[in-house]
Amino acid sequence: QVQVVESGGGLVRPGESLKLSCHASGNALSEALMGWYRATPGSQREFVATITGDGITEYADSVKGRFSISRDNAKNEVYLQMSSLTPEDTAIYYCNVQKFFNYWGPGIQVTVAG
């Protein structure tokens, strides 16, 4: 069983940056695919970014050039550095770990306003 928890969300102004962190508990996660998804009220969860154990990354078109995903396999952690945030980035962000099954964190709110 893998438990996943996000941290680092909050309220920021347009143009500012924010870094999300995600910690996964479990063994042998260095080869797991880890990533971030987000959802707004009334919408389905959408893909944001993923990173393989070897560091290969993929991004949604909407965040390319603004967001950067990274991971620390020794800590079982994945990060999402978000820059040039806009109100359209406001959402609940979910961390995902894929190892045989899909494991999700409870989500964390990111609000871009002001």
Q: In the prediction, which pLDDT does 104 show?
A: 97
Task: Per residue of the chain (114 residues), give pLDDT as tens.
Answer: 899 999 999 999 999 999 999 999 988 898 999 999 999 988 999 999 999 999 999 999 999 999 999 999 999 999 999 999 999 999 999 999 998 899 999 999 999 998
Amino acid at 88: E
Contact 69, 51 (CB under 8 A): yes
CA atoms within 13 A on the CB side of 29: 27
Q: In the prediction, which pLDDT does 35 show?
A: 98
Contact 71, 92 (CB under 8 A): no
Q: In the prediction, which pLDDT does 28 show?
A: 81
Concatenated DSSP letters for the chain?
--EEEEE--EEE-TT--EEEEEEEESSS-TTSEEEEEEE-TTS--EEEEEE-TT--EEE-TTTTTTEEEEEETTTTEEEEEE-S--GGG-EEEEEEEEESEEEE---EEEEE--
Q: In the prediction, which pLDDT does 1 show?
A: 84
Q: In the prediction, which pLDDT does 91 show?
A: 98
